[in-house]
Structure formats: C-alpha cells, structure tokens
Structure 1
C-alpha cells in the first residue's frame, strides 16, 4: 500500500481551441512536476481544449484533434514519470454522446475516464447545449490510491461526492473552470468545506487562470485536509505549478503544510480581473496593441491605466479628439494623464469632419431644432476616426463606457460605444471612481505600468460630462451616480420589484424612469463590445433580456 504521494497542481492559462498550444503547456508542466518528484499532475477542467469551448466543441474535427492529442500524451506516460489528470471532451462509446471528461493518463495508456455529472445551465453557463451528463462516478485506482474526481459543478451538490465516498474514494481531486466574480472565491471555499465535512475526505481544488472573451478565471487553487484546515493556497492571478506532499495518517490522507498565498479582495481583485481579461483578449487574439479616445474624463482615464498595466505603455495609443465644447480643462487633464502613463498621445481635432456632416445634412435638417442628433454626430465622428487609426495601424479600439451608462443607454451607438473590447463594461460609475483613486495609491501585482498617480486628481474630483454641448453635465440627464447605481443594482443584479426599491427610500417616478431606460437600451447593449465579467449579472452572458419587451412593473 502506498503511504506517500506527491500531487502537482497545474494552475495554468490555456487558450480555447489552441489544442497544440495547450498540449505544449501540459508537457512543460509535466516536465516541471517530474523534476519536483510528483506522482500525478492535476489540470483544470477541459484544459486540453480550453474552457469554455462553447459550440466549437461540436465540430467533429475539433474533438478528433483533441483525442489525438490525448492519446499522444497517454503514450508519453510510458516513461515512468508523473501521471496526468487532464480535462478533455470525450465521445462516450456506450451512448454516442459528447461528455465533459477527465482522463487519467498513466503507464502509457488512458487508465480511466470520469464524466462531469452536473452540467450548469445558468448565468454564464450553458453546458447542456453541448455536453450530456455522466452517470454517478466511482473512484479511479491510481497506483493503489482510490481518487475521486468530481468536476467543478459536481462539488456544488451533495450526491456526486457522497457516491464517491461510499464507493471507497480516499481523496477528492477537483478540476475547475470557475470564472471570477467579486464574490466567487468565498462561494467556492464554502462548497468545498461543506463537501469535506460531509465526506471526511481531503479535497484538492485546481482552477483555471486567464481571460476568455468576457470571462476571466482567477486561479486561486487550494487544498483542504479532512479536518477542513488549509495547508495550501495558491495565489490568484498567477500561473504556477505547485507540488503538494501527502502521507497516510491512519485511514486518512494528509497534505503537508505549504505556501498559503494571500488572495486579493475588493478593488485589488476587480482591478486584477479587468487587467488580465484585457491582456488575454488582446494577446490571444494577436492584436499589436490598443487605441482609445482620451477625453479628459474618468472613464477613459481608467481604461487607459488598465490598458497600460495590462499591456505596457508601448502598446497603448491615446488620442484626444477635441471639438468646440471640449473644455481647456479636459485637454489639459488628458495630456497630463497620457504623460503620467507614458503612452503615445495624439490630438486630432474633429471640427472639420463634424461641420462636414452638418453641412451634408443641412438641407434635410432645415427648420428643425438642434438636439441629441447633433451631439451624437460628434461622438460618431470620434468613432470613425478611432476606427480609421485602428484600420491603419492594427491596434484594437477600446471602448470606455461604464455599466451605469450602458444600463440606461447614456451612450452613442457607433460613437463612444465603438470598439472591440470594454474593460469597464461591468463596472458601475461609483466603482470607477473608487478604482481610479485606488490605482493612484497602489501598483497592482503584475502591472506593466508606472507607480504613483496615473490618473490626475482633477479627473477624479471634477463633475462628469460628455461635453457634447455647452456647460453639459451628466447629472443634467441622470440622477447622481450613487443614487443611480443603487437603483440599477436593485434592478439588474437583484431583479427587485419597483415597490421594493421605493420602500428603500427612492422616488417612485425616478425608479420607473430608470427601469424604462434600462429596458429600452437593450438594443444598444446587444451591439456593444464584449467586456470583463465582474459582478453577479453582467449584460450579455448573464442577463439575457428580449429587445422587444412590453413589460413594465406596474405594481404599487
């Protein structure tokens, strides 16, 4: 009977669809683990193909390549080195259905396969669309140790781990693809602790790292002993391979104490999420860098800081696009922000193209009053110029609208909504202010930008304005952002009834107005750029409302 075991936790950043690239990461991780004396290497969920693969996994050519790669890896384990637990899609021969699987590769063969039972179908997940569930699993026999391998969502319920415990599992090794949100880490730990208490089995939780479109994975893998103590906590937001040492103590397996990293919380975690999400979106899609309009306002300043921290100043191009309503204060603030960040900075006045559009429409608009149409022409002119710069030099345009504005449609289609990615899409305006002040005090872990004040103080304290007309302020059209954001959080994240929001002390007419604006802006959000999921209900992946929608909450 084996009394000692070394398990390497491979907290790594795959790329969806890049099977050969992910295969190279597995091989490199195995080599590292072998040098540390590991017996087994545990990888995150579906690591071989990247998670989530969405409908890509339905292509027969895709899972054929995945199976070829898996078999090649299995052959390599004949060398007597570490075995591998690798997540992969798998066609079940018995059912002819596609499974979310974990394969044990050892001794030159696929030594065992287990399938995910609970396929999530809520929020950002729709796994039943592409996978069919597995049956209740028993443990895998690995070199004399019976290991249970529940996959991600399987530990959010009692039945799978209960079945594993009853069929003789001695420990639980859990591969995960658990995306970040601001409250997720505590939720994961809660479920893991609950399963350990129920079964009396130690648990290893390995999570994916990296950005994938609108999702970002924070890693933060950990180990729990059978007494619920925490011997190992891997860092969040970092790739790492950590070999854990185990020994038998009577009938129980115990993990030796190791490093317990501090996991970032609140603003530090949110900033890491948007930084990594943007970095991976740009780098995995092979853009040479990004370009954005730097208006002198706080949203574009924060996006510029995030971009520099994610990519480095040499890959960020900021452009001021002034018109007659752009204040001298904004021009000065934008220049100072660009200088503090060390980015390439250009000024492209838009008077000539805006007046050109006005002239082209003069006869058609004759006899009408100036309104938001003319304001939107300014924003759309800026969008056209930024896209021209993008086309010419290859840099992706960043759009910079916060969640408060996106919620109520305080944004211009084909104007300030123009772009390929939005780092602050899921961040309310009040949090934008918080993050900006926080970044001026803290250089985030892994950031490629400078220390110190990178967002001029005046940008943070001055009243927000779109500057599309004389003396315009955001609060001319919207309530104060602290009021707006509280109402929006009630409507969007909590799906609260109007009467319950009013009971909190908000004016009913205002709540009804915000509700209406939220609904009628859905068509704009459908055309918005993707952005990093931060909260419980991000627009697009989490919150999927119809565009044509006649419902309004009329209850008193």
Structure 2
C-alpha cells in the first residue's frame, strides 16, 4: 500500500480565531481477497500504518470484509453472509485495531436482521480506543439497478429514531456522521447531517463500473456530487472506496478527503491500495458558513415537495413519462 498525506489546508475566510488543533484522520482503500486471513491482514496493516502516521480515527470502505455481493441478484437466502453487529469478524477486526493503536476505527458490515425475507442492514460502525461500539448508522438509501442489486440483500435503515445520527467521540473534539455509499448522492442526507452539527461526514463506499454501460465512467460524477454536497453544507467529506475486480464490477478506487471549500485535500489513484492521512482544520466549517450562510437563509416553509411521498409513477417529476429502472 502507498501512503499519501496532507497537512491542514489554509483557511480561506477566517474571521474568528480558532483554538482547535487540526484533527488527523486516515482512510484505507483496499482490494478484496478471497482468503479471509489475508484480507484482514491487509486491512489491519493499513490501519496500523495510518495510526503510525498520527491518524486518530481511521475509516474503511463499505462492507469491509465481504466480496461485494450485489453485482448479482440475491438467491433465496440473501442474508447468509450477514454477521452479528458486535459478535462478528468486522467488529473484531475494528476493535482489535482500535485497542492496539489507541485510536477510533470506523468499519462497515452486513448486519443480521432476522426476518422472513432474509434481508439485513448495511451498517457503518465506530469503535473506540477501548474496543467499544460507540456509533452505528444503517444505510438509508438502497440502490436497485444493474450491478448494484442491493435491494435484494439489504433493507433500508429505519426512518424513525434519529436516522442520521451525529457522534462526538470522546477526545476527538469533532462531530461525525456515518452514512453509506448510495446515501452520498442525496443532497438531503448531507443537509440533515449539517443541520445536526456534523463537521465530518464519512461515506464507506463500494462503487465502480456500470455493467450495462461499460464505457460510462461515473467516477467524475461521483466525486463532484460529494464535493458539492460538502460545499453546500459546510462539511469535510471522507470517502473510502474499494478497488479491483469483483464479479461483474470493477471498483474505481479514487478515495478522497475534501473540505467545506470544495478542495480535495488528498486522493488515492483508481487502481492502488493506499492509505490517506490528512489534517482537518475543523473550524473551516464555521468560517465558510459564516461567509456563505446557507443554513441561516434556508426557506423550509417552501420545501413541502421534498417530504411528499415518492410517487413511482412519476420518478422524474411531474410532466415526464416514467421509464423502467435499468436492470
């Protein structure tokens, strides 16, 4: 694995002095391996190296230990590979690495959710330096199209009881949101986290090629929408993706960390396993939103259409004929 680092970027609109030290964060971009021990060793090595570079929290990609399953529709037992939240290998890996390095570790897993349909949750977790679960967020938006048949594996996270929680881990002086992958395309999600006071939003991700359109590279669109959502909501975005070929998909890596000004602070190449480490000057969120006060000048009284129920007969909005989702 290569290691890429970035110092804290210059504050561009600081009008109030900051007393906060930069927070050093890390992420690991990895390639899946069929040998479970080899895969765990590679991830653990990445976490250890990020911690050795001073990272106080390390973020890992979506469903960290699994081959991405949803390149094909699920069979009759979709949850066969799901694991217990704290009793499975993903939590064990994160907890062991967190304790050994004295850091926080973020990971992602296919969480068991016993039900007749066999579907589980796609869940992000945060583990403390004491090896304790201190955060859990279930993926809210589930893709349904060709190569990403996640609706046949995962149930959406529940909309009640704080679906977009913001965590303030002891000792980090940071407020963190933990949605997952497809959630990153929805401006509503970033806005909810911003209104909840998040400074960092991490998106564990598994995204790559489009099997039905192999010449269509979505990587630039993916990056642009995440960076733009960070700008419009005053957020640092931490985005660990995976790389390599898995079944029908070729994952395009390109993991990155961006700031509220839209600057990509550090980024991994498409096809490398890598560690990113960056210093985040978190008061830049405050600086940017004081200059461009998006949250203060909102008009929620005019946004009723955003909370109206989804109408499957009008997937593109009023006045546009529906077409079938590409399967």
Q: TM-score, normalising length from structure 2?
A: 0.69
Query: Which residue does the alignment assign to 1:188?
Result: 222
- The 4+ residue runs of structure 1 with deviation greater than 6 A are 93-96
Query: Which residue does the alignment assign to 2:200?
Result: 171
1:149 to 172, 178, 189: 178
- Distance change (3 Å), C-alpha of 1:231 and 1:92: same
SS at match of 1:103: strand
State the superposition RMSD in angstroms.
3.0
Structure 2 unmatched runs, 5+ = 1-18, 211-215, 289-324
2:84 and 2:111 in contact (8 A); partners too: no
In structure 1, C-alpha distance between the alignment counterparts of 2:33 and 2:78, rounded to whole Å: 17
Q: After superposition, where does 1:126-137 map in structure 2 within 5 Å?
A: 126-134=149-157, 135=159, 136-137=163-164
1:140 aligns with 2:160: no
- Distance change (3 Å), C-alpha of 1:190 and 1:251: closer
1:84 aligns with 2:105: yes
Query: Which residue does the alignment assign to 1:21?
Result: 38
SS at match of 1:175: coil
Deviation readout 1:100-143 (Å, 9 max, x if unpaired): 01111112112211111110001221111111101331112233
More helix by share: 1
Q: How many residues align?
A: 256
- Distance change (3 Å), C-alpha of 1:61 and 1:190: closer
Query: Which residue does the alignment assign to 1:58?
Result: 78
1:32 aligns with 2:49: yes
- Distance change (3 Å), C-alpha of 1:14 and 1:65: farther
1:3 to 13, 21, 43: 21
1:48 to 60, 65, 68: 65
SS at match of 1:231: strand
Q: TM-score, normalising length from structure 1?
A: 0.42
2:83 and 2:110 in contact (8 A); partners too: yes
Query: Which residue does the alignment assign to 1:220?
Result: 254
Bigger radius of gyration, 1 or 2? Answer: 1
Higher RCO structure, 1 or 2 (CA under 8 Å, sep 6+) = 2
Deviation readout 1:153-174 (Å, 9 max, x if unpaired): 1011122211111111112111
Structure 1 unmatched runs, 5+ = 255-541, 545-556
Q: Give the deviation of 1:12 after TM superposition.
A: 0.8
- Distance change (3 Å), C-alpha of 1:32 and 1:117: same
2:174 and 2:282 in contact (8 A); partners too: no
SS at match of 1:243: strand
